[in-house]
Structure 1
Amino acid sequence: MNTAELIKLNCLLAKLTKSHQYTKTLKLFTQIQTSQHNLNLKPDQYTFSTTLTAAANLRDILTGAQLHAHVIRTGFKTYPHVSNTLLSLYAKTDNLVYVKRVFSEIMSPDVYSWTTFLSACTNLGEADYACQMLERIPERNEALSPVWNAVITGCVDNGYLDVALNVGKAYKVFQEAEENVCDEITYNAMIAGLVSLGRDEDAFVMFKNMLRVGLGPTERTFVSVMSSGPCHRGVIQVHSHAIKTGLNDFSSVGNAAMTMYSNCKDLQAVHMVFNTLEEKDRVSWNTIITSYAQVGLSKEAISAYMQMQHQGIEPDEFTIGSLLATLDSEMSIEMILAVVIKDGLISKTEVSNALISSLSKHNAIDEAYSIFTETNCKNSISWNSMICAFHLNGCSVHGLDLFSEMLVSGLPPDVFTLSIVLNICAGISDFRHGKEVHGYILKSHYFHETSLGNALIALYAKCGVLDWSLKVFNMMKFKDVVSWNSMISAYAQHGRGEEAVQCFESMQKSKGVKVQPDHTTFTVALTACSHAGLVNAGVEIFNSMVNEYGLEPGVDHFSCVVDLLGRAGYLDAVENVLKCGGFKVHSNVWWALFSSCASHGDLRLGRIVAGFLLEAEEDKASVYVVLANILADSGHWEEAEDVRKMMRSYGAVKQPGYSWIRS
């Protein structure tokens, strides 16, 4: 056999494979096969290994199977590098059956064999099996670190983090016997996986463990930890550690730090990190623009955008989305629209969706609908944005019509779509369409969505069908604070104050997950008491808000209490509370008391409240009208007429009433 010629050809095959010329590698192997009789050449284990690598990278399963047959026939499958390449071939072509078969035929699997095999199992959906096989590794030492990394990374990347945590426990046991087996790759995979699941505290603990065992964090480590949820002192210390190690100079680390400080609303820190970045990429500029947008600094956001363009960095859909979120005029949006059209970004669905939302917020509903109709690839966000736009601009019927079009288009509505449509139906008391949407929800897999149950409770309450609201409430599997607030409010709207109070009490005694009342809970409960004249219950609820739950009452709560006591005729008590309260009384509270003065004919207190309202209110006509009515009801006709003359002298005009019903 011509050994020198074969070595030469093997070197050429290796060179072609290393330079990613896989097709040429396969062609050369075919030439070797066809000319082996003339040149007295026989492929050896290196020939097969290199050619199998080319077939694996091309995902060419047909050629790979033929090579596998050659390997079996020539007896080279016993060579570790040949069998390992066969494992790689079937792993890359997603053929787990053959991966298992080839692995089972390897007499003494090495680290590469175990790594390829277990990685294939986790990537192809058999993470549990991979963890079981991991226990069968005969010798465990630090050389097996790539095997552990493969399993853990595969589990994390493929959504098997719970399984990965089991591996982590096994790793812990393994550490007791042999330290320093975990490396940076292992920790980075686990930290990134925990962050992706929102388990930020666990990710931070994993980071501290990484430092404890003497491993140095890498660029990926800092990016993962600082990209986690809301910042806290520990994560800020992580940024300090990145600065000490010099990794803060990497754009990706700096960008992550900016995102972290942006989540903290610490614009000064965001600006500081941005200015220290030597190389600012598109993500850097997008982050600073988004940070300005989050706090409503539209001028600064536009200025940063102009600087970004001056640096020669083209905007993308995220840049445009952040800019549109902060613009405060239709003219500014039209300027961005011109840029979007010029740069060809209008074809991106994310950009058109952002434009629809921004235009609708500035009452440019026709322009928003025009962009919607011209969007070729509409997703659920496109439909939701346009339906919501109609809803916000008072075009409820158009919103329902568009929802019907969405159903016809074949794109299924999501929870947000259904919530918007139910809110539209509730807003116009459209019982028929609301009931149809309810039927759709029952047929779909959204039946147990709490937000939809809450919307249905509000819908039926607005439509006057309180029994249906109660049925929906009782059928809900999970009730949050909004659920209870909606039901209490439904009772209040229908004048069922006692049932509202009972519902409030049931909320406090609810089984399962404890639901704490919030400010809205107390507002609707106090409103129910006020409308039903339940003075004692209202006072108890107000006291529990302050004493039991430690919530600070707001304007709405004081207005409800004043209205409650005022309606019941306890005007002197209300006056004493307002005098001794030690707080600034909002005009809404004065109006509640003023209405009670009118109802009970309390002229003395009415004069006092009118004085406060005339100082605070721009709508002085309403104050004069109510005061004049109080005076007239008390028999002070001349003084009532003087008040009306005073009203006219100040140019205040009482707006005439009107009715929807035409004669």
Structure 2
Amino acid sequence: MNSISCQQLEHKLSPFGRKLISSVAFAGSTSSFPEQPPIQFLTKSRNIIHSKPEISHAHLIKTQNLEGNTHAANSVLHNYGEYSRMDNAAKVLEEMPKQNSVSWNLMISNSNKALLYQDSWRLFCRMHMLGFDMNMYTYGSILSACGALTSTLWGEQVYGLVMKNGFFSDGYVRCGMIELFSRSCRFSDALRVFYDYLCDNVVCWNAIISGAVKNREYWVALDIFRLMWGEFLKPNEFTIPSVLNACVSLLELQFGKMVHGAAIKCGLESDVFVGTSIVDLYAKCGFMDEAFRELMQMPVSNVVSWTAMLNGFVQNDDPISAVQIFGEMRNKGIEINNYTVTCVLAACANPTMAKEAIQIHSWIYKTGYYQDSVVQTSFINMYSKIGDVALSELVFAEAENLEHLSLWSNMISVLAQNSDSDKSIHLFRRIFQEDLKPDKFCCSSILGVVDCLDLGRQIHSYILKLGLISNLNVSSSLFTMYSKCGSIEESYIIFELIEDKDNVSWASMIAGFVEHGFSDRAVELFREMPVEEIVPDEMTLTAVLNACSSLQTLKSGKEIHGFILRRGVGELHIVNGAIVNMYTKCGDLVSARSFFDMIPLKDKFSCSSMITGYAQRGHVEDTLQLFKQMLITDLDSSSFTISSVLGVIALSNRSRIGIQVHAHCIKMGSQSEASTGSSVVTMYSKCGSIDDCCKAFKEILTPDLVSWTAMIVSYAQNGKGGDALQVYESMRNSGIQPDSVTFVGVLSACSHAGLVEEGYFFLNSMMKDYGIEPGYRHYACMVDLLSRSGRLTEAERFICDMPIKPDALIWGTLLAACKLHDEVELGKLVAKKIIELEPSEVGAYVSLSNIWASLGQWDEVLKIRGSLRGTGISKEPGWSSL
């Protein structure tokens, strides 16, 4: 009976229909189900084969007995699945009187195709509950769904059934489990599944290699490929690109060449994906000639191949060749996509490529890529690196689709990098007005320019609300913001909360402690790094060496120097300079020079540190000799270095050498800088050339507070008090606020010019107008002013009325005036005050003795000399070099 039915069915099928067979085998698989061979259903015309599933369903209802024919019903399920009509497929499944495993496998597979992975899981659970037999296709499909959902819990439950039912050796099933663990960042578990049962299924090997690359376990990927090759398994067109991707990430060219050879041996070099990966390997490793040769030898190349070549030139800093490749693509009619456009825009992100950037901008605008958000983001970055932020802002203003956060985050980043905090913050606030949520990139960028603690705390609250605090870049930017705003304790709290701190985090926190005067805590924090198994890098070592320099703790500095030598990082230039700076700041110039002489390639920072160390301790000859060597070796001298050299020249009163250094500044164009110009002014002032001081001051383009103060002090020290006060008024008119040092110069000018009333005015002004509390030097200037004017009694009363306790310097100023004006009684009183404050002060004894000697009271002189000998203090005899 059955054979008759089959013969009748076969008789109904036309020869044409037999060629148009629709299989009900597992979707996406090249194999059929082992339980039952697929039954093929033929249609009468090509139009029905390619018609909508509803029409095919109606046709099969009309021609086949679907209620009694499970295979025909499965073909309907398959057809609905091809068109993603899962609701109709579900109804067909529910109405089937005789469902089988194929029916449920089709439904699970079709749900995967429609990206309905939750439905796939529900179907699997129901299938398991109803007791249908499950095979390799069932487990493979549901593991794919678990992988898409990154649900390792469900996947492990499925794999338990796999082990129980004996399908663990099937490559398709194991491949699904490997991919699930790889996607869930549990690569060690993926490796365990792979090594549980080594098989000759290339798909499994591809899955574990691809998983290793995705999890950045590049060396593992290469080792597995080596093992695969040793097992005489032939890699395919999917294996080679994954392995080459690992080689690119490691810049492992030699291994990549071996893989290239394997591809040639297996006949895969002609594959466009393999060929593209080979081009990318040579390009990323910097061998552009080999990459171009491989590109030209490819039988078929596409946009990906050419873009890989273009991107290689960009990464190797050859923008001209990148633009030429782009032009060649256009000439050959190669398809150009938005990634190609972003690569060529990256090539033009250079001030020397401004002309080409405008030309390519015009082409992009003409071809319609301009409104692509990814391309507009590249435009924003390109124009910022060219140096035209205004054009970056114009591109952002012309963007029509502002729903892409990348546009906002890149524009905020560009403004932040150009220190435009107002526009950055305004743009950040606009994101909320557009009903968007700033992401981790926006938050990291804006925190870099926030200098208001209240705003920073608001952004901190938003970060906590969105759960972005776990991101390393965001948390690092957050504690750096607190540090910059002066809240070092809050900064340290955020730092402590970071779970996976990197070297940048440690270096930033250590540098923050140093910047805010907590260098001791910086050193303590550095000592915690070995406990956390963190190896300090160049930035961290430099920061902690700066801490030792600030503390002037030579012992700790030497310990860190020894650590650097053991770790073998002593060849890094920045660290070398920091070591020299540490020794000089700690006063050990011998060790500093010894280490400096051992540096093979001396840089600007190490030379500057050594010169500054010599200059600060008055080693004139060593300073000048080293500065001369620095110039001979064509090392750029910074403003700080030149200032140190000019300072030591001023101390030694060598005007001829000072003029030569000034000429060097003019040659380098640094005389117009405030720091260098101020040092030139001070140098000429110390040498007594006030006219040259004025000329040097006029050469400064934008004088700062230090420059104005240097000019005021120069006039004061050279007896031109009136001119000094005129400079002070000019400084105030320019909008610069004076500081305590400025008022020392002003009061000194009043003292030299005898301007008593003006002196009182400026002393009151510094407190009333600027909130500066006078110090010992200010009061000493006032005492000197009153003493020079002969108002000694008033000077004594002024000292007694001072809000701070007078020291020996202030009384000594009055004592010198008493000697000048022959005020014996007052002199005796002042001398006793000095002796009470500093019993070992020889000058007070000598001054008092001189006062008595000038009056011819030699008995008193002998008494003072006897008192001096009684204290055990000896006066050094005077001497002359003439």
Given that residues 123 and 155 in structure 1 are in contact (C-alpha distance below 8 angstroms), is that contact kept between their aligned partners in structure 2?
no
Match of 1:152?
Answer: 279
Cα distance change on mapping 1:436 and 1:208 into 2, 3 Å: farther
In the alignment, what sits opposite 1:450? 573
- Is the counterpart of residue 607 in structure 1 residue 722 in structure 2? yes
2:407, 2:519 → 1: CA distance? 40
In structure 2, how many angstroms separate the alpha carbons of the residues matched to 1:576 and 1:139? 76
Alignment CA distance shift 1:402-1:122 (3 Å) = closer
Equivalent-residue separation in structure 2 for 1:56 and 1:534 (angstroms) = 82
Provide the C-alpha distance between the structure 1 equivalents of 2:206 and 2:722, rounded to a whole number of angstroms.
90
Match of residue 676 from structure 2: 557
**Kept after mapping to 2: 8 A contact 1:497/1:534:** no
User: Quick one: which of 169, 172, 188 aligns to 2:307?
Assistant: 188
**Residue 257 (structure 1) aligns with:** 379
1:151 Cα deviation after fit: 1.1
Specify the code of the residue in structure 2 equivalent to 1:127.
G
Per-residue CA deviations over 1:240-269 (Å, capped at 9, x if unaligned) read 332222122322212221222333454443
Give CA-to-partner distance per residue, 1:554-583, whole Å, 9 cap, x none. 22223222322322233354456668x697
Q: Note closer, same or farther for the CA distance 1:527–1:237 as it changes in structure 2 (3 Å cut).
A: farther
Residues 196-207 of structure 1: pairs in structure 2 closer than 5 A: 196=315, 200=319, 202-207=321-326
Counterpart in the other structure of 1:109: none
Alpha-carbon RMSD: 4.2
Match of 2:606 among 472, 483, 492: 483
Change (3 A) 1:305 1:25: farther
Q: Distance in 2 between matches of 1:612 and 1:273?
A: 47
State how far apart, in whole Å, the 2-side matches of 1:53 and 1:194 are: 40
- Please give the alpha-carbon distance, in whole angstroms, between the structure 2 residues aligned to 1:527 and 1:420: 27
Which residue in the other structure is 1:395 paired with? 518
Q: Equivalent residue for 2:484?
A: 361
Name 1:328's counterpart in structure 2. 451
Alpha-carbon deviations, 1:90-118, whole Å to 9, x = none? 9658543465468898xxxxxx9578557
Q: Distance in 2 between matches of 1:598 and 1:11?
A: 95
CA distance in 1, matches of 2:507, 2:714: 44
Match status 1:269 vs 2:391: yes
Q: Secondary structure at the match of 1:411?
A: coil
Q: 1:144 to 1:650 in 2, by over 3 A?
A: closer
Amino acid at match of 2:308: A
Report the AA paired with residue 616 of structure 1.
M
**Whole-angstrom distance in 1 between the partners of 2:390 and 2:197:** 58
> Which runs of no fewer than 5 residues in structure 1 stay unpaired?
31-50, 69-83, 106-111, 632-638
Distance 2:665 2:435 in 1: 57
Shift of 1:230: 4.0
1:280 aligns with 2:403: yes
Distance 1:130 1:622, change over 3 A: same
Answer yes or no: is 1:352 the counterpart of 2:462.
no
Contact kept? 2:171, 2:199, Cα under 8 Å: no
Q: What is the CA distance between 1:358 and its match in structure 2?
A: 1.0
C-alpha offsets along residues 102-135 of structure 1, whole Å, 9 cap, x if unaligned? 8898xxxxxx957855764664652122445677
Equivalent residue runs for 1:494-573 within 5 Å: 494-510=617-633, 515-547=635-667, 549-551=668-670, 553-573=672-692
Deviation at 1:202, TM superposition (A): 4.9
Query: 2:344 matched to 1:225?
Result: yes
Structure 1 residue 643, shift from structure 2 partner: 4.3
Residue identity over aligned pairs, in percent, reads 21
Residue identity opposite 1:461 in structure 2:
T
CA distance in 2, matches of 1:66, 1:650: 90
Within the alignment, does 1:162 sit opposite 2:286 as a pair? yes
Query: Aligned to 1:258, what secondary structure does the other structure show?
Result: helix
1:96 equivalent among 209, 213, 225: 225
**Aligned AA (2:636):** Q
Partner of 1:26: 136
C-alpha contact (below 8 Å) 1:55/1:64 kept by paired residues = no
2:731 pairs, out of 592, 612, 616, with: 616
**2:141 is aligned with 1:14:** no
Q: Residues 319, 589 of structure 1: CA spacing in aligned structure 2 closer, same or farther, 3 A cutoff?
A: closer
Contact 2:468 2:474 in 1 (8 A): yes
Which of structures 1 and 2 has the bigger CA Rg?
2
Tell me if structure 2 keeps the 8 A contact 1:497–1:532: yes
Instruction: Give the superposition deviation at 1:221.
Output: 1.3
Task: Give the residue type in structure 2 aligned to 1:462.
Answer: K
Letter in 1 for 2:722: R
1:626 aligns with 2:748: yes
Provide the residue aligned with 1:76 in structure 2.
none
CA deviation map 1:612-653 (0-9, x unaligned): 22442545743442124324xxxxxxx354543454676768
Does the 8 Å CA contact 2:713/2:746 hold for their aligned counterparts?
A: no
Task: Give the superposition deviation at 1:220.
Answer: 0.9
Shift of 1:371: 2.4
* 1:13, distance to aligned residue in structure 2 (A): 3.6
The answer to whether structure 1 residue 378 and structure 2 residue 524 are counterparts is no
Give per-residue Cα distances to partners, 1:503-537, cap 9 Å, x unaligned. Answer: 22222333xxx533344443333333333333222
Equivalent-residue separation in structure 1 for 2:382 and 2:776 (angstroms)? 55
Unaligned runs of 5+ in 2: 1-17, 32-105, 114-119, 125-133, 141-169, 179-192, 212-220, 733-737, 768-772, 778-803, 809-836, 839-882
Determine if the alignment matches structure 1 residue 319 to structure 2 residue 442. yes
Q: Which amino acid aligns with 2:644?
A: V
Mapped to 1, the partners of 2:376 and 2:621 lie a distance apart of 58
State how 1:68-217 maps to structure 2 within 5 Å: 94=221, 95-97=224-226, 99-100=228-229, 116-117=239-240, 120=243, 123=246, 126-132=255-261, 145-155=272-282, 161-163=285-287, 165-171=288-294, 174=296, 182-196=301-315, 200=319, 202-217=321-336
Counterparts in 2 of 1:596 and 1:285: CA distance versus 1, 3 Å? closer
SS of the residue corresponding to residue 569 of structure 1 reads coil
The Cα of 1:465 is off from its aligned counterpart by 1.0
Higher relative contact order (CA 8 A, sep 6+): 1
Q: State the TM-score, normalizing by the size of structure 2.
A: 0.59
> Is 180-189 or 280-289 further displaced after alignment?
180-189
Matched to 2:455, the amino acid is S
**Cα distance in 2 for residues equivalent to 1:436 and 1:336:** 40
1:202-256 CA deviation, whole Å, 9 max, x = no partner?
5444434434544343211122233455454123433333222212232221222
Q: Is the 8 A contact 1:457 1:469 kept in 2?
A: yes
Distance in 1 between residues matched to 2:331 and 2:660, nearest whole Å: 54
Which deviates more from structure 2 when the two are superposed, residues 243-252 or residues 568-577?
568-577
Query: Is the contact made by 1:191 and 1:224 (CA closer than 8 Å) also made in structure 2?
Result: yes
Amino acid at match of 2:531: V
Does the 8 A contact of 1:222 with 1:239 survive in 2? Answer: no
Tell me, yes or no, if the aligned pair for 1:130 and 1:151 is still in contact at 8 Å.
Answer: no
Task: Decide whether the 8 Å contact of 1:431 with 1:460 is kept in 2.
Answer: yes
TM value normalised by structure 1 = 0.76
Please say if 1:406 is aligned against 2:529.
yes
Matched residue, 2:362? 240
